[in-house]
Each structure stands twice: as structure tokens, then as C-alpha cells.
Amino acid sequence: MEININRLMSDIEAYSQYGLGSNGGVTRPSFSEADYTVRDVFKTQLEEMGLEVTIDPIANIWGKLQGSRANNEAIIVGSHLDTVPNGGKFDGALGVLVAKEIVQTLIDHKVKLKHDLEIVSFTAEESNEFNYSTMGSRAFAGKFKEAELIDAVDSKGIKLSDAVKKAGGDISKIEKLPNKNIAAYLELHIEQGRKLEKEDLSIGIVDNIVGVYRDKVIVEGVANHSGTTIMEERQDALVAASEMVVSVQKHAKKVNSDAVATVGKLEVFPNATNVVPGRVEFMLEIRSANKIERELLIKDIQQSFKDISEAHNVKLSFINRLNHQECSFDKQLIEAMKDVAESLGHPYIVIPSMAGHDAMHMADITKAAMLFVKSANGISHNPKEFTDSEDIRKGANTLLQSLIKIDKELTLTEMHESSVDI
Ligand SMILES: [Zn+2]
């Protein structure tokens, strides 16, 4: 049994039309008009496939294919249909449409799993106007209180609760989530990096998602006249901050692993041609799947900032903004995917995900794992985002067969456990 790659590719093309811009980019953030439209299209198609469609309180869309065992737990497959502004056709949508194709393939071949099989499209995976990324999966995993979301508004003054309601959700009920019995969660996604391309491989099995640490760094010197302040007397916040930025790269390069560190946002005050910069604020971000290594890198970079600030006679402060721990995926699911990839003759590597995904929240409430497919040139969040149909075919078939294998394995484990209980 194989997925129908032509049907899948035309689905990807068809979905990319919702929010398509003149340069080929897709702009479909959650709660945009294009998002509301694509939600309707998706729900209608799931219904036409004969699935039981539901919208949960945070407006995640679910489509259930009943399993052969009554009251069974569900295996969930999905991703997200929202995009960043001017994003690509594949980030998120690919995982949802592969899930749909897999379910259609099972229906076509009259294969019934023991578990219920549910497709999910999570709300607002990408950062959006309301400033919550992975909002749908986070809420589904029970990580939001109603009070945290109830006052959120976008730049036009639209309330998040109204936007969610328009999509069929109800924020007043989010504390009832998760509202399902789940056996496992699987997600296929584009890699958004170049590791698979470098190895010339179609698929990667993801063993964990990196931890992400972010500090807001404030450097305070003295703003003064750029003509009358002699060089020896300056307390130039930007010169000190510039050395810090260079030091971030030096330290990260010294670490012999996947660790990455970035200063991606920097603001200069007063930001005037004839004023020595008195204050600089920037964001320092450090990612690594290895907690010890990540913490060591944070310490080394912070120490180098302290040394630089002393040398330039400027004040330095750190405000921690994020300290997301790394997430490990389920070993049983990883082994199942490895076995399947080997038996299908698709070589793979096991890699960490350097970006956050819905799967990291699902991993807190169930067994979870992810499968990556190659991204051309590692480009994503960009109209040039591309994955070849042959890589998609191999990824989707690996996921399909993994689901079938996991369905058998997880059922066996449960039956064994219940017989012990008796
Ligand atoms: Zn994504």
C-alpha cells in the first residue's frame, strides 16, 4: 500500500492558493480571512471523506476515522495550516495534507486500524498578531488558563476570544483540554535546515526538539554630543554591544555540536547621527538539544558580555524572556519509524529539530515523534520554500507504514497491561 503522490501534490498546490501573493508567497496567519476560508475547505473535505469532524475550544480542527476497537484511544497525525506572512507552501500544510492523504489511502484500501485515527490541524502554530506561537497545541496540552488569553487583542483591536469563536472555538472552555484519550502523536514536517540535503537524504527521524533560551540584554552607556565628546571619555553603548554580538558568534562556533546562538534584534537609543549611543537593547537567543551544553554556552556568553561591559565602562543587565527546555520524543515511536524506513529502503539520519513544533507540546501529554523531509537549500518561512515530490512520497509512505506498525504495537502493549490487571 502506498499513498497517492499525485493526489497529494495537487492538494498541496490547491491549499497554497489560499493566501497566495503575487510573488508566490503564502500569507495565511491564523484568524486571517485566508485562514477562515482554508478552515472551511479543510472541514468540508474531511466530512466528504466520511470523517467525524470536530472543532475544539481553541479552534483546532479534528477529523476522526473510527478504529475497529470500541472506545479506543486515538493515534493523532497532523500539523498546522497557518503560515507566517509571505511564507511557503510546505511549512505546516505538508504535515496536515500528508495526514489527510494517509487517511484517504487507508480508506481506499479498506484498511481499518485498531485505534481511532485522527487528523489534526492546530490553530496558530506560527507566531501571530496575538503573540502566541504553537497556541493550538499548547492549549490542547492544557498549558493555558482562560485568564491568560481572555484579554489578548491584535493590532486592530480584535479580541482573541472573538477570533477563536469565529473559527468555531470557545476560549471559556480551554481549561477542559485535552479532551481526548490519546495513544500517540505523529507529525511530518519540512526540515527547515540543510542537514538532510547535505547528506543527500529524503527523510530524517527527529529524536528531540532543542531547548531555547532568550535574554533581553540592556547595555547602558552615556549619550553625548558626537562632536564634543572625545574618544577617551566615551561610554558608547553601541560599540560595547557590537563586541558582544561578535562574541556570541565566537562562543557558539567553539561548541562542537548543533548549538546555535543569535542576536537577531537590536535597538539603538537615541539612534541619531550626531549622538554617541547611550543605550542599546538586544535579544540574545541560544538553542541546543543538549541541556548541559546549552547552559554552559549561556554562562560563557554572559561572562564575555560582563568583561566587555567593564572594558567599555557601560552598565549591563539581562532580563530572561524564555527558557524552554529541550523535548525528547518517544523511543518506541522512533524505533518503529527507523524499522519502517529501513524496510522501505529509505536511508535516514536521526536529527534534532532546531525549531519548535506542535509536537513538543503533544510530547507532554502522549507518546510523540516527528519525521522530517528535506527542504531545498534549507529555506523556509519564505516563498522559495520547496520540497521535492519524491522526498514527500518517501516521507509520507514511511509515516503511513509507521502508523500501521504503531497501531499494532501499542494495542499489544495495552492488552498485555490489562491482562496483568485482571
Ligand atoms: Zn511549521
Compute, in angstroms, the gap from residue 115 CA to the centroid of ligand 1.
Answer: 26
Boundary of a domain, candidates 268, 300, 324 = 324
Lowest-pLDDT range of 91-100, 101-110, 316-325: 316-325
Residue 419 has pLDDT above 50, yes or no: no
CA distances from 40 to 18, 59, 117, 229, 299 (A): 11, 12, 21, 63, 49
Confidence of residue 412 (pLDDT cuts 50, 70, 90): low
Compute, in angstroms, the gap from residue 222 CA to the centroid of ligand 1.
Answer: 43
11: CATH:
3.40.630.10
The whole-number pLDDT of residue 71 equals: 66
Q: What is the mean pLDDT of residues 169-184?
A: 95
Residue 417 has pLDDT above 50, yes or no: no
Amino acid making up residue 386: F
Compute, in angstroms, the gap from residue 283 CA to the centroid of ligand 1.
Answer: 23
197 and 341: one domain?
yes
Compute, in angstroms, the gap from residue 381 CA to the centroid of ligand 1.
Answer: 9
Contacts of 4 (CB under 8 A, 6+ apart): 101, 104, 105, 108
Compute, in angstroms, the gap from residue 397 CA to the centroid of ligand 1.
Answer: 20
The pTM (predicted TM-score) of the whole model is 0.88
Q: Are 28 and 85 in contact (CB under 8 A)?
A: no
The whole-number pLDDT of residue 422 equals: 38
Q: What is the mean pLDDT of residues 343-368?
A: 96
Contacts of 196-202 with C-beta under 8 Å, sequence gap 24+, read 196/349, 196/351, 196/372, 196/373, 196/374, 196/375, 197/374, 197/375, 197/376, 197/377, 197/378, 199/349, 201/347, 201/348, 201/349, 201/374, 202/346, 202/348, 202/373, 202/374, 202/390, 202/391, 202/394, 202/395
Confidence of residue 133 (pLDDT cuts 50, 70, 90): confident
Compute, in angstroms, the gap from residue 125 CA to the centroid of ligand 1.
Answer: 7
Compute, in angstroms, the gap from residue 92 CA to the centroid of ligand 1.
Answer: 4
12 and 73: one domain?
yes
Boundary of a domain, candidates 296, 324, 352 = 324
For all residues of the chain together, what is the average pLDDT? Answer: 94
129 and 188: one domain?
yes
231 and 351: one domain?
no
pLDDT for 184-239, tens place per residue? 999 999 999 999 999 999 999 999 999 999 999 999 999 999 999 999 999 999 99
The whole-number pLDDT of residue 416 equals: 44
The whole-number pLDDT of residue 256 equals: 76
pLDDT: which is higher, 69 or 38: 38
DSSP 23: T
N- to C-terminal Cα distance for the chain?
A: 38
Q: Kindly give the pairing relationship between strand 116-122 and strand 260-269.
A: unpaired
Residue 51 has pLDDT above 80, yes or no: yes
Q: Are 56 and 169 in contact (CB under 8 A)?
A: yes
